[in-house]
């Protein structure tokens, strides 16, 4: 995996997935609605160079597509099968 995007990165499961990917050294795009929450989360993780923050609405396909342009895998923990 070269780069991942996590939708809802500041939520419970999204934060856990993002943190695990960051800890493994995988470049991650943390996607969420609130820049303030994303920045707080990034600070908690120590602002790693391989973490990118992206603000948008997960219900707007254009927002997700724009943020995910460099990602080769997408995690969306809010979606249930």
* pLDDT at residue 78, rounded to an integer: 77
* pLDDT (average), residues 24-29: 98
Q: What is the pTM of this model?
A: 0.93
* pLDDT at residue 1, rounded to an integer: 77
- Of 3, 2, 4, 8, the C-alpha closest to 56 is 8
**What is the distance between the terminal CA atoms of the chain, rounded to a whole angstrom?**
23
**31-75: per-residue pLDDT in tens?**
999 999 999 999 999 999 999 999 999 999 999 999 999 999 999
* pLDDT at residue 80, rounded to an integer: 62
């Amino acid at each position: 995996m070269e780069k991942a995007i996590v939708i809802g990165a500041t939520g419970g499961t999204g934060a856990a997935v993002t943190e695990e990917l960051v800890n493994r050294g995988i470049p991650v795009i943390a996607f969420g609605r609130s820049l303030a929450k994303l920045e707080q989360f990034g600070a908690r993780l120590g602002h790693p160079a391989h973490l990118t923050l992206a603000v948008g609405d997960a219900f707007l396909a254009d927002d997700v597509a724009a943020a995910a342009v460099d990602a080769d895998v997408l995690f969306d923990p809010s979606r249930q099968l």
